[in-house]
Structure 1
Amino acid sequence: MGEVKVATPSKLVSKSDSEFYQVMKHLRRNRMAMLGLAVLLVFIFAAVFAPFLTTYDPIRTDMGNARQSPSAEHILGTDDLGRDMFTRLIYGARVSLQIGLIAVVIGLAAGVPLGALSGYYGGTFDLIVQRLVDIMIAFPGILLAIVVVTILGQGVNNVMIAIGIASIPIYTRLVRGSVLAVKEQRFVAAAKVLGISNYKIILRHIMPNCLGPIVVQSTFQVATAILWAAGLSFIGIGATRPTPEWGLMLSSGRQFIQTSPHLTTYPGLAILFLVLGFNLLGDGLRDALDPKSRSVR
């Protein structure tokens, strides 16, 4: 008689059955999400390899070439101080992506632990945290960022901190709601019966089941942070000159909008496409991480 082979647990779950594979498969089928990802990759490539894509200095002025129209020498023209617009745009991508990512990290670092502990333990701690969150949410996010940056002062670093602080209540509410739903599941009750500590239950059993909403919200929040940063710079309380920041470029070029429209057109389009890229990818991730949405398609 032939030998009977027993499948090991690792072989029982095929690659096509894994959750990660299903998410990626669904995401690849979403054309708009792939378009958003492609747009983001272009901006990331430009930001990383900016020194190799241009020979011009993004800060050095040349008043003899001020406000030139697009030409072979300056493919997107020059600004009001003679600086190459293409150079400032790709270096500006570095600034915008840095602001968006670090602001979200600040919001995650504070909001996720607060939301997780608030939702899991409840009681007085939850009441205190939620009242503080209510106070912060009472201010529109951009207004709260304006208050913080006014206190801290201008500059890219302070803008990142201000937007990060304004993001904290968003993540606190989101994670608290997810934890409240997950902690009622049977596997959490089983972990408590087995004597597993609350710390390990939160980290190993609850938070992995809350990652989907956090990832999706972070994608949207990066776009929001970039938009807010541009707005703060546009009204004069964000990045300082001569930083190649898109909102600051818009503010500088608005007085020449009739004679040199390229000074505002290109920074505006850069903000539009980068924010659109994150939003399209976020929409795709939201659908891909939702099992009900995957089953419909």
Structure 2
Amino acid sequence: MELDPLDPTYVNERLSQPPFITVPGVVNVRDLGLYPSETFPDSVIRPGFVFRSGEISSITEDGKATLRELGVTTVYDLRSDTEIQRYETPSPDIDGVDIVRLPVFKTEDYSPEMMAKRFELYASGKTEAFMELYSQILDNGGPAFGTILRHVRDRPNEAIIFHCTAGKDRTGVAAALLLKIAGVSDDSIAEDYALTRVGREPARQMVMARLAQMPMFASNTEAALNMFTCRHETMLAFLSLLRDRYGGVEEYISTFAGLSPHDIQQIRTNLLISNENSHIDVSS
């Protein structure tokens, strides 16, 4: 079954390979570097610059040291105040690293009515339901994504990591925008998205325990398990949505994040390096 637990041996082996990075206390940490650009031949995403992950609230002291060793200067947290309060997962203090809160959704977006609708969409596990969710993320996330993009534009020597709770949906949208700016192919972006299925597996019991506290999931295990879906075709559908409804990545960033074509070009320049022999295998 698609959502049965993954084999632990496979998970441990996969997590020990790129693009996964081991940061003690944090799950689903990946380097977005080395993905090849389809649009700009012989160029790849610069490694060691942009990382994605699940929430970092449980990071250990060794994990904090690892972030510093990676050169991370800023953590961008896409979670809402409501999530942090509900799960009691405040951002940690990390010496030498700034924690910047960038909630995609405002407090009012977490009304009982809005939450019931959002969870209903998640619980369905259907691609069209996720497209409605991801459209909500795009409609609300422009300011947050714009802040991340401005960091890439202005501070190319200061590595970042961005995350939401699972590192799947809001984080996946942010990663897709960055990769698309750099001309990475849809298939490669979809493969990156699908890796969260492995990256999130160590937190499976914790996630299920959290969901069990919510009435609609407590009595519906299948709906809860659908929260783990990270299908390749879901991201492909999202990228089509980005093109068809929002005019593509550059038009979206211009309209929702307020960045100019010159800004986008500078972001692209800072993301890419020339290295025709570099590649990353995300399919093994």
TM class by smaller structure? under 0.3
Larger Rg, first or second structure (1 or 2): 1
Q: TM-score, normalised by structure 1?
A: 0.26
Name whichever structure is richer in strand by fraction: 2
Q: TM-score, normalised by structure 2?
A: 0.26
